[in-house]
Amino acid sequence: MITLRGLTKRYGDTVAVDGLTLDVEEGRVTGFLGPNGAGKSTTMRMILGLDRPTAGRALIDGRPYASMRHPVREVGALLDAKALHPARSARSHLIAQARSNGIPVRRVDEVLETVGLAKVARRRAGAFSLGMYQRLGIAGALLGDPQVLILDEPVNGLDPEGVRWVRELVRAQAAQGRTVFLSSHLMSEMQLTADRLVVIGRGRLLADTPMADLLAASASASVRVRTADPADLSGLAGRLRAYEGVTVESPGGERNEIVVRGRTAAEIGDLAHRLGVALHQLHSVPASLEQAYMELTEHSVEYGAAASPPPPVSDGSAPTATTEV
Ligand code: ADP
């Protein structure tokens, strides 16, 4: 488990990380999200003892990273995949890490096999592609068979097969009871990978929540409602519209279906029951992570474009054409 308590980092006038308090628990994949400059790298660097907090603390299984005798055996980290000597081979790079942490050389060959670099293990790492660097970085993180993995943008530069491989790898690690904390800017991938999300903006905590709760609570989440009788539906729509914060649309002008935002399926079902309306369908459509993330961080973007482009089209589960009922 990673424990942050009031974790703060200031660089002069810049507050990079502002009083973060949270637990990253074992047995699940926790995604770490935030706009550029939000403080993700600084947080990870403080967890790994590479930056000193201005205030607060970051502990791994109750201890600071710097106090660990063989840190690579307790925490596997990938911060910057290209941070290695370009003239060294992948194998000699890992052997150096293994030796300094009391790890046998056969483990190096094992992890090279795991990440798919066994065939190029003796080649100069300087000639590697970004995807190969990432695989080597992940090999380094796995080297000590640690209980905690901290991965900054591990899928950056990987091809679709590589992205899927990282997803399956980290999910398997979490399923074995390990702690996995990873950042990524690829929202659709994060949606498939993480169980829980920590979102920060301008150094502050914006959300620390299970993925499913974030998607269900988003203003973009909707409920599709169908009745047999269009008159019933329009009565129900009228009642729903009277509530503050509720929108009601009819996708593609359908007469017997509405899409409701601002109320849960349970609330709509209860209302229909009270009105004596028989429902033929009541279907929750969660938001995409991209939609939920954009809503959450819209006021925390440090480096935004001057005019926002229109919101991205969703994953196809939401209606594409809508008209007011
Ligand atoms: P992220 O990883 O979320 O993009 P960072 O942790 O890199 O964000 O940066 C958070 C803030 O701290 C940014 O405003 C950045 O400019 C600033 N920052 C990060 N490192 C330093 C540093 N060494 N010196 C001064 N400012 C820094």
DSSP readout, 141-166?
HHTT--SEEEEESTTTT--HHHHHHH
Report whether pLDDT(242) > 60.
Answer: yes
Report whether pLDDT(82) > 90.
Answer: no
The tens digit of pLDDT for each residue in 56-75 reads: 999 999 999 999 988 999 99
Residue with tokens 């106090």: 67
CB of 14 within 6 A of ligand 1: the answer is yes
CB of 41 within 6 A of ligand 1: the answer is yes
The tens digit of pLDDT for each residue in 83-97 reads: 888 888 999 999 999
Q: How far is the CA of 82 from the centre of ligand 1 (A)?
A: 19
Burial (CB count within 10 angstroms: exposed 0-12, middle 13-18, buried 19+), residue 215: buried
Report whether pLDDT(324) > 60.
Answer: no
Report whether pLDDT(163) > 80.
Answer: yes
| Arithmetic mean of pLDDT, 224-237 | 92
Q: How confident is the model at residue 306 (pLDDT cuts 50, 70, 90)?
A: low
Percent of the chain residues past pLDDT 70, beyond the cut:
92
The tens digit of pLDDT for each residue in 257-305 reads: 999 999 999 999 999 999 999 999 999 999 999 999 999 998 777 666 6
CB of 42 within 6 A of ligand 1: the answer is yes
* Interior/surface letters 224-254, b for 16+ CB within 10 angstroms, e for the rest: bbebeeeebbbbbbebbeeeeebbbbbbeeb
User: What's the alpha-carbon Rg for the chain, to the nearest Å?
Assistant: 24
Contacts of 42 (CB under 8 A, 6+ apart): 9, 16, 17, 51
Using N-to-C axis directions, what is the helix angle for 230-241 and 265-275, rounded to 10°?
Answer: 120
CB of 16 within 6 A of ligand 1: the answer is yes
- Residue (of 71, 1, 60) closest to 30 by Cα position: 1
Torsion of CA 143, 73, 149, 160, to 10 degrees: 0
CB of 286 within 6 A of ligand 1: the answer is no
Average pLDDT score, the chain: 90
pLDDT of residue 81: 80
- Residue (of 45, 41, 36, 43) closest to 6 by Cα position: 43
pLDDT of residue 151: 97
CB of 35 within 6 A of ligand 1: the answer is no
Q: Considering only CA atoms, which residue is closest to atom 27 of ligand 1?
A: 11
Cβ-contact 233, 268 below 8 angstroms = no
Q: How confident is the model at residue 127 (pLDDT cuts 50, 70, 90)?
A: confident
Report whether pLDDT(54) > 70.
Answer: yes
* pTM to 2 decimal places: 0.85
State the closest ligand 1 atom to the C-alpha of 12, by its place in the atom list counted from 1: 25
Report whether pLDDT(315) > 60.
Answer: no
Q: How far is the CA of 80 from the centre of ligand 1 (A)?
A: 15
DSSP 242: T
Q: How confident is the model at residue 320 (pLDDT cuts 50, 70, 90)?
A: very low
Q: How far apart are CA 30 and CA 182, in angstroms?
A: 6
Q: How far is the CA of 19 from the centre of ligand 1 (A)?
A: 15
CB of 38 within 6 A of ligand 1: the answer is yes
Contacts of 101 (CB under 8 A, 6+ apart): 70, 71, 72, 73, 143, 144
pLDDT of residue 303: 63
The tens digit of pLDDT for each residue in 189-200 reads: 999 999 999 999
- Residue (of 314, 240, 242, 324) closest to 282 by Cα position: 240
Helix (H, G, I), strand (E, B) or coil at 317: coil
Cβ-contact 35, 204 below 8 angstroms = no
Higher pLDDT, 203 or 311: 203
